[in-house]
Amino acid sequence: MVVANQKGGVGKTTTTVNLAASLALHGGRVLVIDLDPQGNASTALGIDHHAEVPSIYDVLVESKPLSEVVQPVPDVEGLFCAPATIDLAGAEIELVSLVARESRLQKAIDAYEQPLDYVLIDCPPSLGLLTVNALVAGAEVLIPIQCEYYALEGLGQLLRNVELVRGHLNPSLHVSTILLTMYDGRTRLASQVADEVRNHFGEEVLRTSIPRSVRISEAPSYGQTVLTYDPGSSGALSYLEAARELALRGVGIRYDEHQGYVSPQNDQQSTAEGIQ
């Protein structure tokens, strides 16, 4: 699942790490690929990503196997991260001269042999070759939309890029999910934006929206997701609920009313309590 929106600060990274943690906490095996040179997803997951750490840069540019850069996330069983280091900032340029420059991430994921239920890719705030690599590698796109003025601006460009990649490089790619983030129910603007997004996209918009929450924004500074930082907070509960919606749609892990989350890898029951 490619988490993309070329606008910065709309909640891509926050959504990637918290959805990933929600899915992992309920029995899924989940890999987060940090594709933003800022490395914010790596930070939020408590993964070291200083310049010497083997990273997704080595995978994309040096053809290092993905398995050699993936690290387990402390505190959350079943959650893994391929970190980004600042080297990745040069990759947009370095990739240009490499063969099959758009499909290097796809090749790396295809060659990764560990069992996984979900791969979530956190994109940078641009539509360059890094995001194109994510779109070629992905099965579906999740677009976080911040409930603010200008929310829909620039979205057409992202949707056109998805169409281009679908037409030429990845025929099964589609925008499957829109998630409203930083929703503040007290403002009329937020509900207007939410209505507009729902009218525009309909089915793809998750019923759960993510509230603006201080706990969500504090968690990364402790190298944690909000799921471990404050599991009972409204932010944690809303990401759990959004993850449940995803699972109920039959993407990756299956949600069974009686058994909870069931992983297709082993069809075993996972720890089910918590999300109803």
Q: Give yes or no for residue 12 binding Mg ion (CB under 5 A).
A: yes
Give the nearest distance from C-beta 234 to ligand ADP in angstroms: 9
Q: Which two tokens stand for residue 95?
A: 């990739």
Q: Give yes or no for residue 28 binding ligand ADP (CB under 6 A).
A: no
Please give the size of the binding site for ligand ADP, defined by CB under 6 A.
17
Angle between helices 234-248 and 12-25 (to 10 degrees): 70
Q: Give yes or no for residue 14 binding ligand ADP (CB under 6 A).
A: yes
Q: Give yes or no for residue 212 binding ligand ADP (CB under 6 A).
A: yes
Q: Give yes or no for residue 193 binding ligand ADP (CB under 6 A).
A: no
Q: How many other CB atoms are there within 10 angstroms of residue 154's CB atom? A: 14
User: Which of 44/253 has CB closer to ligand ADP?
Assistant: 44
Give the nearest distance from C-beta 36 to Mg ion in angstroms: 5
Q: What distances in angstroms separate CA 260 from CA 45, 183, 224, one per listed residue?
A: 25, 28, 24
Q: Give yes or no for residue 11 binding ligand ADP (CB under 6 A).
A: yes
3-state secondary structure of 260: strand
User: Which of 175/253 has CB closer to ligand ADP?
Assistant: 175
Give the nearest distance from C-beta 103 to ligand ADP in angstroms: 24
Q: What are phi and psi of 131, to 5 degrees?
A: -65, -40
User: Which of 95/143 has CB closer to ligand ADP?
Assistant: 143
* Element spanning 178, H or E: strand 174-181
Alpha helices in the chain (DSSP H): 12-25, 40-44, 56-62, 88-94, 104-110, 129-137, 155-168, 188-201, 214-218, 226-229, 234-248
Q: Give yes or no for residue 81 binding ligand ADP (CB under 6 A).
A: no
Instruction: Spell out the long-range contacts of 55-58 with Cβ–Cβ below 8 A and sequence spacing 24 or more.
Output: 55/82, 55/83, 55/84, 55/85, 55/87, 55/88, 56/82, 56/83, 56/84, 56/88, 56/105, 57/84, 57/85, 57/87, 57/88, 57/90, 57/91, 58/87
| Residues 150 to 189 in contact with ligand ADP, rule: CB under 6 A | 181-182
Stretch that binds ligand ADP, among 4-12, 75-83, 100-108, 248-256 (CB under 6 A): 4-12
User: Which of 32/178 has CB closer to Mg ion?
Assistant: 32
Q: Give yes or no for residue 236 binding ligand ADP (CB under 6 A).
A: no
Q: Among 8, 90, 115, 167, indicate the residue that binds ligand ADP (CB under 6 A).
A: 8
CA distance 204 to 13: 20
Binder of residue 32, out of ligand ADP, Mg ion, none (CB less than 5 to 8 A by kind): none
Binder of residue 212, out of ligand ADP, Mg ion, none (CB less than 5 to 8 A by kind): ligand ADP
Q: Return the DSSP state at 201.
A: H
Give the nearest distance from C-beta 18 to ligand ADP in angstroms: 9
User: Which of 26/212 has CB closer to ligand ADP?
Assistant: 212
Owner of token pair 């398995």: 67
Catalog residues that contact ligand ADP under the rule CB under 6 A.
Answer: 8-14, 40, 125, 181-182, 210, 212-213, 216-217, 235
